[in-house]
Structure 1
């Protein structure tokens, strides 16, 4: 992840889901101020943008740690 030429570089994030439900693969791109998430199958579609601290909290929660 990180930036390429001033633009966020998208990285494949794997599958997200719970209880056997797959929501499909997602991609994540980071900038110093924002973490962006998008559907890797629909890259032109809607995107989620959150603060890095909120993303870290989500990842901790989702991993069950």
Structure 2
């Protein structure tokens, strides 16, 4: 009984690993980046947000690992 459950879980995990992931876009990058910018110093927070805009902007060269 335990082997059947183990085999079933293995098969389900193999099938699930082949599903295609949704590609992230610039808004996801910007949201993830600016989440790390939260600080009490507003000048530093604004500077971080500007860097995120540059990093996640349309001209950025973010590597696509979706294969």
Shorter-chain TM-score range: under 0.3
Higher relative contact order (CA 8 A, sep 6+): 2
Task: Provide the TM-score with structure 1 as the length reference.
Answer: 0.25
Task: Provide the TM-score with structure 2 as the length reference.
Answer: 0.24
Q: Which has the larger radius of gyration?
A: 2
- Structure 1 or 2: more strand by fraction: 1
